[in-house]
Structure 1
Amino acid sequence: MDKKCSPEEIEKKRLQALARKQQSQLNTQTTPRNSPMQQPNHNNSTNVMRSIRKNNRFNPIETKNFFSRTSVLTGKCYMISNERFALEISSFVPAVIETFKTLPSRAYDVKSRIWNFHINEYDTLMQKLIPHESNISITQIPQTILQIFKKSLQSDHKNILKQDLSKIDKKLVDSLMPFQRDGICFGISKSGRCMIADDMGLGKTIQALGIAHYFQESWPLLIIVPSSVRYQWSETIYEYLPSLPMHYVRHFTSGKDCIEDAKIIIISYDILIRAVNILEKHIFGFVILDESHMLKSNKTIRFQAAQKICVHARHVVLLTGTPALSRPIELHSQISLILPRFIRYEDYGIRYCAGQKNVFGWDFTGSSNMQELQLLLKTTCMIRRLKSDVLSQLPSKTRQVIILDSDLINTHKRMNEMAKKLKNNTSLEHNTLLQYYTESSFVRLKAVCNYVTNLFENKRKCLLYAHHQNILDAICNVAESMKIKYIRIDGKTNSEQRKHQIDQFQERDDYLAAVLSITAANAGVTLTAANLVVFTELFWNPGILCQAEDRVHRIGQNDNVIIQYLVARNTADDYIWPLIKNKLHVLNAAGLDQDLSIDSVDTTVQKKRGQQDLTSFLNTSLSLEKQSQSQENKQKNDSSPEASTSTNDFKQLLEIDEECFDSCSWDDIA
Structure 2
Amino acid sequence: MYQKKDINRHNGKCSLEEIEKKRLLALQRRQQALLKIQTTPSSSPVQQPKYNNSTNVMRPNKLNNRFNPMETKNFFNRTVVTGKCYMISGERFALETSSFASSVIETFKTVPSRSYDVKSRIWNFHINDHDSLIQKLMHHESNISVTRIPQTVLQIFKKSLKSDDENIFKQDLSKIDKKLIDSLMPFQQDGICFGISKNGRCIIADDMGLGKTIQALGIAHYFQESWPLLIVVPSSVRYQWSEAIYEFLPSIPMHYVHHFASARDCIGDDKVTIISYDLLARAVHTFEKHIFGFVILDESHVLKSNKTARFQAAQRICTHARHVILLTGTPALSRPIELHSQISLILPRFMRFLLEALSCSYEDYGVRYCAGQRSVFGWDFTGSSNMQELQSLLKITCMIRRLKVDVLSQLPSKIRQVIILDPTLIKTRKRMNEMSKQLQTNITNSERHNTLLQYYTDSSFARLKGVCDYVTNLFENKRKCLLYAHHQNILDAICKVAESMNIKFIRIDGKTNPEQRKQQIDQFQEQDDCLAAVLSITAANAGVTLTAAHLVVFTELFWNPGILCQAEDRVHRIGQNDNVIIQYLVAKDTADDYIWPLIKKKLNVLNAAGLDQDLSIDNVDITAQKEHGQQDLISFMNISLSPGMKSQSQKDNKQDNDSGASTSTNDLKQLLEVDEEYFDSCSWDDIA
Which one of 568, 571, 574 corresponds to residue 555 of structure 1? Answer: 574
Q: 2:154 aligns with which of 137, 140, 146?
A: 146
> Is 2:624–2:634's contact at 8 Å kept on the other side of the alignment?
no
Among 448, 467, 471, the alignment partner of 1:448 is: 467
Amino acid at match of 1:223: I
Instruction: From 397, 401, 419, give the equivalent of 2:418.
Output: 401
Matched, 1:607 2:622: no
Structure 1 234/143 Cα, relative in aligned 2: closer, same or farther at 3 Å? same
Find 2:121's aligned residue among 113, 130, 133.
Answer: 113
Aligned equivalent of 2:666, options 653, 659, 662: 659
Q: What is the match of residue 385 of structure 1?
A: 402
Question: 2:208, 2:573 within 8 Å by CA — same for their partners in 1?
Answer: yes
Partner Cα distance (1:78, 1:71) in 2:
23
1:299 is matched with which residue? 307
The question of whether the paired residues in 2 share the 8 Å contact of 1:540 and 1:666 is answered with no
Contact 1:577-1:654 at 8 Å conserved across structures: no
1:430 paired residue number: 449
Structure 1 residues 102 and 600: alpha-carbon distance in aligned structure 2, compared to 1, 3 A threshold: closer
CA distance in 1, matches of 2:377, 2:185: 50
Q: Distance in 1 between matches of 2:557 and 2:234?
A: 23
Contact 2:423 2:630 in 1 (8 A): no
The 1:531–1:108 alpha-carbon spacing in structure 2 relative to 1, beyond 3 Å, is closer
Q: Residue type matched to 2:379 in 1?
A: W
Deviates more, 1:588-597 or 1:655-664: 655-664
| 8 Å Cα contact 1:602/1:647 also seen in 2 | no
Q: Which residue of 2 aligns with 1:355?
A: 372
Q: 1:117-136 maps to which residues of 2 (within 5 A)?
A: 117-132=125-140, 135-136=143-144
| 2:526 pairs with 1:507 | yes
What's the counterpart of residue 216 of structure 2? 208
| Residue in 2 that maps onto 1:50 | none
Counterpart CA distance in 2 for 1:534 and 1:133 is 63
Identity, in percent, stands at: 77
2:134·2:146 contact (CA, 8 Å) conserved in 1? no
1:589 maps to 2:608: yes
Structure 1 equivalent of residue 108 of structure 2: 100
- 5 Å-filtered alignment, 1:622-633, equals none
Helix, strand or coil: the match of 1:593?
coil
One-letter amino acid of the counterpart of residue 325, structure 2: V
Indicate the SS of the match to 1:180: helix
Q: How does 1:244-259 map to 2 (within 5 A)?
A: 244-259=252-267
Residue type of the partner of 2:538? T
After superposition, what is the alpha-carbon deviation per residue over 1:117-141, rounded to whole angstroms, capped at 9, x for unaligned? 2212222222333324992222121
Shift of 1:387: 1.0
Q: Which amino acid in 1 is paired with 2:259? A: H
Give unmatched runs, 5+ long, in structure 2.
Answer: 23-28, 31-65, 351-359, 643-660, 683-688
What RMSD in Å do the two structures reach over aligned CA positions? 2.5
| Residues 117 and 259 of structure 1: CA distance in aligned 2, closer, same or farther (over 3 Å) | same
> How many residues are aligned here?
596
1:457-502 deviations in Å (ceiling 9; x for gaps): 2222111111111111111122222222211111111111111111
SS of residue matched to 1:222: strand
Partner residue, 1:321: 329
With normalisation by structure 1, the TM-score equals 0.85
What is the CA–CA distance in structure 2 between the aligned matches of 1:399 and 1:357, rounded to whole Å?
41
Q: Does residue 527 of structure 1 match 2:536?
A: no
Residues 233 and 277 in structure 2, CA contact (< 8 A), matched pair in contact too: yes
TM-fit CA distance, 1:442: 1.0
The corresponding residue for 1:627 is: none
The 3-state SS of whatever aligns with 1:454 is helix
| Structure 1 partner of 2:291 | 283
Q: Deviation per CA, 1:197-238: give whole Å up to 9, x if none.
A: 111111100000001111111111111101100111001100
Deviations 1:609-630 (A, max 9, x none): 5xxxxxxxxxxxxxxxxxxxxx
1:640 aligns with 2:630: yes
Structure 2 residue identity aligned to 1:640: Q
| Residues 100, 608 of structure 1: alpha-carbon distance in 2 compared, 3 angstrom cutoff | closer
Comparing 411-420 with 105-114, greater Cα deviation is found at 105-114
Residues in 1 aligned to 2:160 and 2:453: alpha-carbon distance in whole angstroms: 47
Match of 1:52 in 2: none
Tell me the residue number matched to 1:230.
238
2:41 maps to what in 1? none
Paired residues of 1:220 and 1:262 also in contact (CA < 8 A): yes
Q: Which runs of 5+ in 1 are unaligned?
A: 1-10, 29-34, 37-56, 610-638
Distance 1:524 1:667 in 2: 23
Q: Superposition pairs for residues 571-586 of structure 1, below 5 Å?
A: 571-586=590-605
Shift in Å at residue 597 of structure 1?
1.1
* C-alpha displacement of 1:413: 1.3
Cα distance change, pair 111–487 in 1 and its aligned pair in 2 (3 A): closer
Distance 1:110 1:562, change over 3 A: closer
Contact 2:83 2:97 in 1 (8 A): yes
Alpha-carbon separation, structure 2, partners of 1:441 and 1:531: 25
Bigger mean CA offset, 566-575 vs 111-120 = 111-120
- Give 1:421 shift: 2.5
TM-fit CA distance, 1:560: 1.2
Give distance in 1, aligned partners of 2:105 and 2:513: 66
SS of corresponding position for 2:130? helix
Q: In the alignment, which residue of structure 1 is the partner of 2:11?
A: 18
Deviation at 1:529, TM superposition (A): 1.1
Query: Does structure 1 conserve the Cα–Cα contact (< 8 Å) formed by 2:556 and 2:585?
Result: yes
Displacement of 1:63 after TM fit? 5.5
| Partner in structure 1 of residue 339 of structure 2 | 331
Question: 1:478 and 1:255 mapped to 2: Cα distance?
Answer: 40
Whether the aligned pair in 2 keeps the contact of 1:427 and 1:663 (CA below 8 Å) is: no
- 1:87 aligned to 2:95? yes
Offset, 1:649: 4.3
What residue identity is the alignment partner of 1:228? S
The residue aligned with 1:53 is none
CA distance in 2, matches of 1:506, 1:447: 28
User: Given the alignment of the two structures, is residue 190 of structure 1 paired with residue 209 of structure 2, yes or no?
Assistant: no
State how far apart, in whole Å, the 1-side matches of 2:438 and 2:68 are.
50
Q: Give secondary structure in 1 for the equivalent of 2:95.
A: strand
Which is further off, 478-487 or 163-172?
A: 478-487
